[in-house]
Chains A and B, each alone.
Chain A
Amino acid sequence: MAGTFGRRRLMAGGGGAVLGAALATACGSNTGRGDGDSGAGLRQWYHQYGEPGTERAVKRYAAAYKKTEVTVQWRPGDYDRQTAAALLTDSGPDVFEVNGPLLDQIQGGQVVDLTAEIEPVKDDFNQAVLAPKTWQGKVWGIPQVIDMQMLYYRKSALKDAGVQPPRTLDELVDAAKAVSGKKKTKGLFLGNDGGVGVLSGTPLFAAGLSLISEEGKVGFDDPAAARALGKIRQLYADKSLLLGAPTDWSDPSALVQGLTAMQWSGLWALPQIKKALGDDFGVLPFPGDGSGGKPAVPVGAYGSAVSARSKHTAQAKAFAKWLWVERTDFQRDFALSYGFHIPARISLAKQAEQLREGAAADAVRFATEYGHAEPLLWTAASRTAYQDALSRIIKDGAHPEGELKGVVRKVSAELQRVKKK
Chain B
Amino acid sequence: MSTGVLGPQRRNLWFWVFVGPFALGLGLFTYVPLVWSLYLSFFDAHNTVSPDASDFVGLGNYGAMLSDGAFLASLGTFVLFTAFIVPATYVLALALALMVNRLRVAQAFFRSVFFLPTACSYVVAAVIWKLSIFNGVRFGLANTVLGWFGADQTAWLSTTHPPWYWLVIVTVRLWLQAGFYMILFLAGLQRISPQLYEAAAVDGARPGWQTFRHITFPQLRATSVAVVLLLVINAFQAFDEFYNLLSDARGYPPYARPPLVYLYYTALGQDQNLGLGSAGAVILALIIAVATVVQARWFGLGRKGED
Contacts and interface: CB of A to CB of B under 8 A. Distances in A.
A102 interface: yes
Nearest to A18: B25
Given A108-B46, A395-B255, A81 B24 contact: no
B160 A15 contact: no
Contacts of B135: 244-246
A12 interface: yes
B251 A196 contact: yes
Contact of B28 (A22, A110, A184, A245): A22
Interface of A: 8, 11-12, 14-16, 18-19, 21-22, 80-81, 84-85, 87-88, 102, 104-105, 107-108, 110, 184, 191-194, 196-198, 242-246, 248, 250, 259, 379-381, 383-385, 387-388, 391-392, 395-396, 406
Given A22-B28, A194-B158, A380-B270, A16 B47 contact: no
Interface in B255-289: 255, 265, 268-273
A410 to B, nearest CB: 9
Contacts of A88: 47-49, 272
Interface residues of B, number: 45
B47 A87 contact: yes
Given A11-B19, A84-B268, A104-B271, 18 more contacts: A11-B22, A12-B18, A18-B22, A19-B25, A22-B24, A84-B269, A104-B46, A104-B272, A193-B253, A197-B251, A243-B155, A244-B156, A244-B158, A248-B248, A380-B269, A384-B271, A387-B254, A395-B161
Contacts of A385: 70
B47 A392 contact: no
Given A14-B22, A380-B271, A391 B255 contact: yes
A349 to B, nearest CB: 26
Given A244-B136, A395-B255, A80 B270 contact: yes
B265 A384 contact: yes
Contacts of B153: 184
29 contacts: A12-B17, A15-B25, A19-B24, A21-B25, A22-B21, A84-B270, A88-B48, A88-B272, A104-B47, A107-B46, A108-B46, A191-B248, A192-B155, A192-B158, A193-B248, A193-B251, A193-B253, A197-B251, A243-B157, A244-B155, A245-B137, A246-B135, A248-B248, A248-B249, A380-B269, A383-B251, A384-B70, A388-B254, A392-B254
B137 A259 contact: yes
A406 B58 CA distance: 26
B173 interface: no
B254 A391 contact: yes
A381 B265 CA distance: 10
A15 B254 CA distance: 41
Contacts of B69: 406
Contacts of A242: 136-137
A18 B24 CA distance: 8
B21 A396 contact: no
Given A18-B25, A80-B270, A193-B248, A246 B137 contact: yes
